[in-house]
Amino acid sequence: MVKRIIFTGGGSAGHVTPNLALIDRLKDQWEITYIGSKKGIEKDLVQAHGITYHAISSGKLRRYFDLKNFKDPFKVMAGVMQAYWMIRKIKPDVIFSKGGFVSVPVVIGGWLNRIPVYIHESDITPGLANKIAVKFATKMFVTFEEASAHFPAGKVIYSGAPIRDALFRGNKEKGLQFLGFRPDKPVLLIMGGSLGARKINEEVRASLPALLSSYQIVHLCGKGNIAPELEGKEGYGQYEYIDKELPDVMAAASLILSRAGSNAIFEFLALKKPMILIPLPLRASRGDQILNAASFKKKGFCEVLDNDSLTADELQKTIADVYRNRYDYIDRMAQARNATQGIGTILKTLTHEA
């Protein structure tokens, strides 16, 4: 008998990528359906994997005053009813949610249909969607052990992060060839997130003369952030985004400078890449990246820089220090196996439930 599973989660790539990592493992044995929003990033990402996709009404969940707060609850209620009838028709064995505002109606719809619902939280502190959804969930997987304190003890399973298999198939030589880089000079990979990061972009480009004397730089600067005057500069490659070649590029990287989104930093950890993290400041987030970075710093996996006080000199010095001590970081990351084996833990639980 074919097992059926519904995935949900959306609003950002961070709410979709872990789902895709699990889907890649399940798609040959399970019947998979994805429920997401009508216009969210998840729609294109999921359909590109050939997975059946259903869209529902969804309202954004906000912690601040906005006139839309008066009408969005009605969108959520409509989404719950749509999800309820979809789930009743599909009859899944289990539902897996990665969070984001679209997931709440699906989780509630699953609970109303008495379907086991499992949720995954990437950060140390939960987002508002998962704070609501956990009340209707069977179990909650967490990436950080510290996150357990924020959920009912009987519901928490420490799984670590579900890392996509494709990352481990990256080829250093192919990465260098794609970038047009030499094999005898270290590669610094700079990632600012899917939309880029203005502060990081500015300080990196201000530091280019000094950095290029020691490193080759691949700079993922985000959509619309390419600097035309730097195109063709030797040892410097700038891209809005890299998709299928990213595992090869990451394999070629000697160290990484990045924001501190949970999914990204656990991928760096799994690949044992020394890292410098610049978390989003509080004014631009709920502070989750600050906590993520602090946890990794405490464990000795990275160095952390403050976004608002960042200078080119500080950036250059920290990069040099991390590269010089790179083997110490690699040794500490090699001891963190459980944190990057989330796929196995999650799949074992889902399979047992179904």
Measured over all CA atoms, what is the biggest interatomic distance in the chain, rounded to whole angstroms? 62
Residue 151 is assigned to a structural domain of this protein: yes
Is there a single domain that holds both residue 276 and residue 323? yes
Q: Tens digit of pLDDT for each residue in 214-267? A: 999 999 998 888 999 999 899 999 998 898 899 999 999 999 999 999 999 999
Number of independent structural domains in the chain: 2
Please compute the mean of the pLDDT values over residues 166-182 and round it to a whole number. 96
* Confidence at residue 146, expressed as pLDDT on a 0 to 100 scale: 92
Contact 36, 18 (CB under 8 A): no
The token duo for 312 is 């080119």
pLDDT at residue 6 is higher than 80: yes
Question: Which of the residue ranges 54-63, 104-113, 158-167, 199-208 would you say has the lowest mean pLDDT?
Answer: 54-63
pLDDT at residue 280 is higher than 70: yes
Q: Residue 97 — very low, low, confident or very high, per pLDDT cuts 50/70/90?
A: very high
Is there a single domain that holds both residue 129 and residue 64? yes
The token duo for 342 is 């989330």
CA separation, residue 200 to residues 6, 101, 126 (Å): 38, 28, 26
Domain limit, last residue, from 158, 181, 215? 158
Is there a single domain that holds both residue 138 and residue 41? yes
Is there a single domain that holds both residue 184 and residue 331? yes
Residue 67 is assigned to a structural domain of this protein: yes
* Confidence at residue 59, expressed as pLDDT on a 0 to 100 scale: 60
Residues spanned by the domain of 239: 166-338
* Confidence at residue 68, expressed as pLDDT on a 0 to 100 scale: 57
Residue 323 is assigned to a structural domain of this protein: yes
Q: What is the CATH number of the domain that holds 325?
A: 3.40.50.2000
Is there a single domain that holds both residue 150 and residue 171? no
Residue 89 is assigned to a structural domain of this protein: yes
Buried/exposed code over 293-329 (b: 16+ C-beta within 10 A; e: otherwise)? bbbbeeeebbbbbebeebebeebbebbeebbeebeeb
pLDDT at residue 193 is higher than 90: no
What is the C-alpha to C-alpha distance for residues 26 and 1, in angstroms, rounded to an integer? Answer: 15
Residue 186 sits at the vertex; the CA angle it makes with 275 and 214, to the nearest 5 degrees, is 100
* Confidence at residue 197, expressed as pLDDT on a 0 to 100 scale: 78
* Confidence at residue 1, expressed as pLDDT on a 0 to 100 scale: 78
**237 Cβ partners below 8 Å, 6+ apart?**
179, 180, 181, 217, 218, 219
Domain limit, last residue, from 158, 182, 201? 158
Q: Residue 354 — very low, low, confident or very high, per pLDDT cuts 50/70/90?
A: low
Residue 302 is assigned to a structural domain of this protein: yes
Residue 119: enclosing H or E segment and its boundaries?
Answer: strand 117-121
Percent of the chain with pLDDT over 70: 94
pLDDT at residue 132 is higher than 70: yes
* Confidence at residue 283, expressed as pLDDT on a 0 to 100 scale: 77
pLDDT at residue 173 is higher than 70: yes
Is there a single domain that holds both residue 293 and residue 260? yes
Please compute the mean of the pLDDT values over residues 108-116 and round it to a whole number. 97
Residue 353 is assigned to a structural domain of this protein: no
Is there a single domain that holds both residue 271 and residue 306? yes
Is there a single domain that holds both residue 34 and residue 152? yes
Residue 351 is assigned to a structural domain of this protein: no
What is the C-alpha to C-alpha distance for residues 167 and 244, in angstroms, rounded to an integer? Answer: 10
Contact 141, 120 (CB under 8 A): yes
Residue 222 is assigned to a structural domain of this protein: yes
Is there a single domain that holds both residue 33 and residue 177? no
What is the C-alpha to C-alpha distance for residues 339 and 270, in angstroms, rounded to an integer? Answer: 8
What is the C-alpha to C-alpha distance for residues 13 and 90, in angstroms, rounded to an integer? Answer: 26
* Confidence at residue 196, expressed as pLDDT on a 0 to 100 scale: 52
pLDDT at residue 63 is higher than 60: no
Q: Tens digit of pLDDT for each residue in 297-353? A: 999 999 999 999 999 999 999 999 999 999 999 999 999 877 788 899 999 999 887
Is there a single domain that holds both residue 153 and residue 205? no
State the pTM of this model: 0.88
Is there a single domain that holds both residue 154 and residue 171? no
Strand order in the sheet with 216-220: 236-239, 216-220, 187-191, 255-258, 275-277, 302-304
The token duo for 298 is 């405490």
What is the C-alpha to C-alpha distance for residues 11 and 13, in angstroms, rounded to an integer? Answer: 7
Question: Which of the residue ranges 60-69, 84-93, 176-185 would you say has the lowest mean pLDDT?
Answer: 60-69
Domain limit, last residue, from 158, 193, 208? 158
**64 CB burial (10 A radius; 0-12, 13-18, 19+):** exposed
Contact 178, 249 (CB under 8 A): yes
Please compute the mean of the pLDDT values over residues 100-111 and round it to a whole number. 94
Is there a single domain that holds both residue 191 and residue 137? no
Q: Which comes out higher in pLDDT, residue 267 or 62?
A: 267
* Confidence at residue 13, expressed as pLDDT on a 0 to 100 scale: 74
**165 CB burial (10 A radius; 0-12, 13-18, 19+):** exposed
